[in-house]
Amino acid sequence: SIILGIESSCDDTSAAVLKGNKILSNIAANQEIHKEYGGVVPELASRAHQQNIIPVVDKAFSKANIQQKDISAIGFTRGPGLLGSLLVGTSFAKSLAMSLSVPLIEVNHLQAHILAHFIEDANPKAPNFPFLCLTVSGGHTMIVLVKDYFDMEIIGKTIDDAAGEAFDKIGKIFGLDYPAGPIIDKLSKNGNENSFKFNKPKLDHFNYSFSGIKTSVLYFIQKEVRKNPDFIKENIDDLCASVQKTIVEILMDKLEKAAIDLNIKEIAIAGGVSANSGLREAIQKNSERLGWNIYIPKFEYTTDNAAMIAMVAKLKFDRGEFADLSISATARYDIEEGFKKDIKTL
Ligand code: ATP
Ligand code: FE
């Protein structure tokens, strides 16, 4: 099969062409516009998607060297995400599916972050079921027990901010651009991670909290800047390294606990924060210490991308799970939800 994937849930407009399990193209247009606002502005995001979607899809076809008439189906992100952003991809996918008379397949964005592991070149080897997937992104942080492609259970999750959100908000306190996660990662490489200590939350079960570290960084910075206005500038690398170390430790502590409690050694990471080099190193170390088989996706499949959407669409295509043309986007979409009622199984 040849599948076109469309992703527009947040601020990246992306299109990808998948042939079998192999990605032929994976094109994204990033929206620079949000930088100056320090976060994604929903109204501007949907407008930018509207401008980008046709050029991005065209480029995905031409890079893949595939004609529109050759595709077998179109997969699109139905949710979760910003409604105004999702509507652009959804409407586009529906129109194109109608004009080409090909089936339409709806995709849950969070399932896609996880199922990106099944793209042929995502890993040297795909994970075996059941596996645990630490799913860490801009909007979500959870440990998911993946029993089968579409049988997922949330074992633990954040009770407040997501890990990516923590990176971004703390970066904002440091005066870094949005999104700050990748910048903190880069600056950390020149810093000493033991320079500053930030409190870690104590939570039951496998749940997370990241609002505490954000507040403790804020108070600490306010106090130090009163004494020395150049404090951030003089210590930015050490600050970033210390924050990154703390966030990674918080993530790894619960993941390790869950892996031991559930006696699972197949461990994956997914989502934008899985691009983080500190997290990648930590999971690597744990694999040696605890005998884990680890799955770290290729960088381009970590942050939002249409390749992962096409991959899920392919899995559903093989099962004949198609969406009706009356389907609409949904801002909330639980990862545990298999298929919504209005989805037809042909
Ligand atoms: P969701 O998938 O929950 O709807 P999203 O799609 O906005 O949210 P992703 O694109 O998966 O999120 O990830 C974006 C997040 O990943 C941002 O918060 C960004 O700062 C973070 N991120 C990306 N690269 C890195 C990195 N190297 N280190 C830390 N964080 C990173
Ligand atoms: Fe995402």
Whole-model pTM: value is 0.94
Please identify which residue in the block is written with the tokens 């507040």.
215
Q: Is 109 near ligand 1, meaning CB less than 6 Å away?
A: yes
What pLDDT, on a 0 to 100 scale, did the predictor assign at position 324?
93
What pLDDT, on a 0 to 100 scale, did the predictor assign at position 340?
44
Return the ligand 1 atom nearest residue 272 CA: 13
What pLDDT, on a 0 to 100 scale, did the predictor assign at position 64?
98
User: C-alpha distances in angstroms, 330 versus 86, 138, 167, 333, 346?
Assistant: 8, 18, 26, 6, 22
- pLDDT tens digits for range 247-280: 999 999 999 999 999 999 999 999 999 999 999 9
d(CA 261, CA 127): 19
CB-based burial, 101-131: b 16+ in 10 Å, e otherwise: ebbbbbbbbbbbbbbbbbbeebbeebbeeeb
Residue 346 has pLDDT above 90, yes or no: no
Contacts of residue 24, Cβ cutoff 8 Å, sequence gap at least 6: 16, 17, 18, 63, 64, 65, 66
- Count Cα atoms within 13 angstroms, Cβ side, for 336: 9
What percentage of residues in the chain have a pLDDT greater than 90? Answer: 90
Return the ligand 1 atom nearest residue 163 CA: 18
Q: What phi, psi does 33 have (nearest 5°)?
A: -55, -30
Q: Is 167 near ligand 1, meaning CB less than 6 Å away?
A: yes
Residue 102 has pLDDT above 80, yes or no: yes
Residue 47 has pLDDT above 60, yes or no: yes
What pLDDT, on a 0 to 100 scale, did the predictor assign at position 343?
45
Q: What phi, psi does 79 have (nearest 5°)?
A: 165, 175
ipTM: 0.98
Mean pLDDT of 101-120: 98
Closest ligand to residue 273's CA? 1
Pocket test for ligand 1, best of 273, 299, 300, 335 (most atoms within 8 A of CB): 273
Mean pLDDT of 219-242: 97
Q: Does residue 179 have a cis peptide bond before it, meaning omega lies within 30 degrees of 0? A: yes
What pLDDT, on a 0 to 100 scale, did the predictor assign at position 239?
98
- pLDDT tens digits for range 143-196: 999 999 999 999 999 999 999 999 999 999 999 999 999 999 999 999 999 999
What percentage of residues in the chain have a pLDDT greater than 70? Answer: 97
Average pLDDT of the chain to the nearest whole number:
94
d(CA 61, CA 31): 21
Pocket test for ligand 1, best of 250, 281, 303, 330 (most atoms within 8 A of CB): 303
Q: Which residue has the higher pLDDT, 338 or 62?
A: 62
What pLDDT, on a 0 to 100 scale, did the predictor assign at position 339?
47
